[in-house]
Structure 1
Amino acid sequence: MSVTFKDVEKYRRDGFVLVEGLFSPDEIRKMIHEVENGSDVAASAEGVVDRSGRAARLAIWFDLKKDIWAGASTCPRIVNTVRILLGEDAAFFHGKVMMKEAKTGGAWEWHQDYGYWYEQGFVYPNMISAFVALDEATVENGCLQVLSGSHHMGRMNHGKAGAQTGADPSRINEISSMFERVHVTMKPGSVLFFHSNLLHSSSSNDSDHHRRSFIMCYSACSNPQLLTSGEMKFREPCPVDTDASILKFPG
């Protein structure tokens, strides 16, 4: 198993848990090969501008295709960990590759994922992200920062911050001293699982090294999504592939 009982306790208390080395060097090499050589990520990646005008690039998709990203998103090491942390079966929501490139990659403002997933109709915040480090994530290249335990506050108001969606800056200033700020440094292949209401951000990348990541997002199957048509949708459980599903891809 990827997580222990103590890990589950930490996730509930702090809103996040880091699992080291969940993906092997071979698996990470293949994912980076797809980022650098695959057509889908390169073609769909768009710059997302921060308050300073610098941009990180983001590619996002909502369907499981027959590609390496679906292989990772349905890997039992991921899906079973998500099930344990959510406390029930999980549905795939979306995946994305974030590219914070050397010397140019912009910051991500403080936000909660549920701050904008709420606007997509999800009734409850029983949702989770699995953040995979493709490159080493350091303070210098803009690793993720989290406010430990901030998911207990519930959803904050969000608005525009550059081209991004960010939490209310005045409220962030008021509450940030209440929580421990953690710089989540990560080795390639490590995965950070974090709650949809956990406040997180990252600084710009002023270093000589890329900081690329792959993020898989899931919702509890019992969490209804209100559609614009007025209907209520319940998502199907995420399929589970074999543990070697990533290794069949080139790279």
Structure 2
Amino acid sequence: MTQESLTNAVPCLVIILLIVTEFHYDPEYFRFTPEMKMAFDECGYILVRGVLSASEVSKVKNAVEISKEIQENAFAIDDGEGGKSRLCIWSHPGNDITGMVARCEKVAGVSEKLLGGEVYHYHTKLMMKEAHTGGKFVWHQDYGYWYKNGFLFPNMLTVFMPVDECNRDNGCLQVLRGSHKCGRIEHLFIGGQTGADLERVEQLKKKLPLEFVEMKPGDGLYFHSNLLHMSSPNKSPNRRWAFLVAYSRADNDAVYEHHLPFCTPVHEVPNTAVIDCDDVDMSGKGFMDPTRDKTIKRERDS
């Protein structure tokens, strides 16, 4: 970094580094605050520790591990460097335990406050990085490819909730704090994935802090659709599964059909619905057919 670029970058770095992005969930006292909104607007994300309790995580973990539908609809994508990760994506939240997570106030309701209006459910996904073999996810913005699916505005976000611990050893998320303000970057195929223009990413890395987001099961990272993020391959002996819910503001539905149906109203439920639900039936979820998705290249079945 040159002296001139360092001088120009310092004020931006100082401001966004001083903003608190980490909060803690307490079922009795948790309230959405102006500080959360400011952090999201300025840095592109907030991290809420313990948004799901250990009991709630256990129920989600059991539901996704025993689901025949997930196994039948999961697919692998290549990272361009020999690694592969498996995904399963569905359109409708439903009434099972995974749907209660996607519809509860502490997930969907907080997302509404961050985006400044009612949200619709775009999709939920289970991301599965297995031990030793789980591939990386290249630098990208979610809106980099959601744009190609017909969304006119980036009024969208994702809530990332680990099922397993996410750390540097098993490929936790890395984010460029404040990168959502740079607007949508051109995205191209990298392996089987749609990734951001790496030359532009390298220039942004000179000006913005790179954060390793290490998370425990049940933590929640709420991040803007234009936030640049990636994750390294999982070369550790521990798997890294994560549960993600994507929302779009209700006034920002896709303008043409693509591989996922149009967004679904959330029909929000109280936070107690997560622990009270024992339904693990995932039929009728609208699982994605990856052969219709123009933004990924599915690995051929072996």
Distance in structure 2 (CA, Å) of the matches to 1:111 and 1:2: 31
Q: Supply the RMSD in Å over aligned alpha carbons.
A: 1.8
**Residue correspondence of structure 1 range 170-189 to structure 2 within 5 A:** 170-189=199-218
2:158 to 123, 126, 129: 129
**Kept in 2: contact 1:89–1:237 (CA 8 A):** no
Distance in structure 1 (CA, Å) of the matches to 2:214 and 2:177: 14
Match of 1:158 in 2: 187
Q: Is 1:23 paired with 2:45?
A: no
CA shift at 1:219, angstroms? 0.5
Letter in 1 for 2:278: F
Letter in 1 for 2:273: S
Identity %: 38
**Kept in 2: contact 1:221–1:236 (CA 8 A):** no
1:77 to 101, 106, 113: 106
Match of 1:59 in 2: 88
What are structure 2's unaligned runs of at least 5 residues? Answer: 1-29, 281-302
**Kept in 2: contact 1:2–1:22 (CA 8 A):** no
Count how many residue pairs are aligned between Structure 1 and Structure 2. Answer: 248
CA gap 1:235/1:32 in 2 versus in 1, 3 angstroms: closer
**Kept in 1: contact 2:76–2:86 (CA 8 A):** yes
Larger displacement relative to structure 2 (197-206 or 220-229): 220-229
**Residue correspondence of structure 1 range 147-226 to structure 2 within 5 A:** 147-226=176-255
**Kept in 2: contact 1:103–1:207 (CA 8 A):** yes
What are structure 1's unaligned runs of at least 5 residues? Answer: none
Larger displacement relative to structure 2 (241-250 or 124-133): 241-250
Distance in structure 1 (CA, Å) of the matches to 2:233 and 2:142: 19
Structure having the higher Rg: 2
Query: In structure 2, the residue corresponding to 1:12 is in which secondary structure?
Result: helix
Distance in structure 1 (CA, Å) of the matches to 2:73 and 2:262: 28
CA gap 1:228/1:243 in 2 versus in 1, 3 angstroms: closer
Match of 1:243 in 2: 271
**TM-score, reference length from structure 2:** 0.78
Letter in 2 for 1:68: I
Letter in 2 for 1:134: V
**Kept in 1: contact 2:115–2:155 (CA 8 A):** yes
**Kept in 1: contact 2:83–2:136 (CA 8 A):** yes
Letter in 1 for 2:269: D
CA shift at 1:66, angstroms? 2.8
CA shift at 1:228, angstroms? 4.8
Task: Provide Cα deviations, 1:197-226, integer angstroms capped at 9, x if missing partner.
Answer: 000000001111111100000011121421
CA shift at 1:237, angstroms? 4.0
Distance in structure 1 (CA, Å) of the matches to 2:164 and 2:65: 13
CA shift at 1:65, angstroms? 2.4
**TM-score, reference length from structure 1:** 0.94
Higher strand share: 1
Q: Is 1:68 paired with 2:97?
A: yes
Distance in structure 2 (CA, Å) of the matches to 1:165 and 1:39: 28
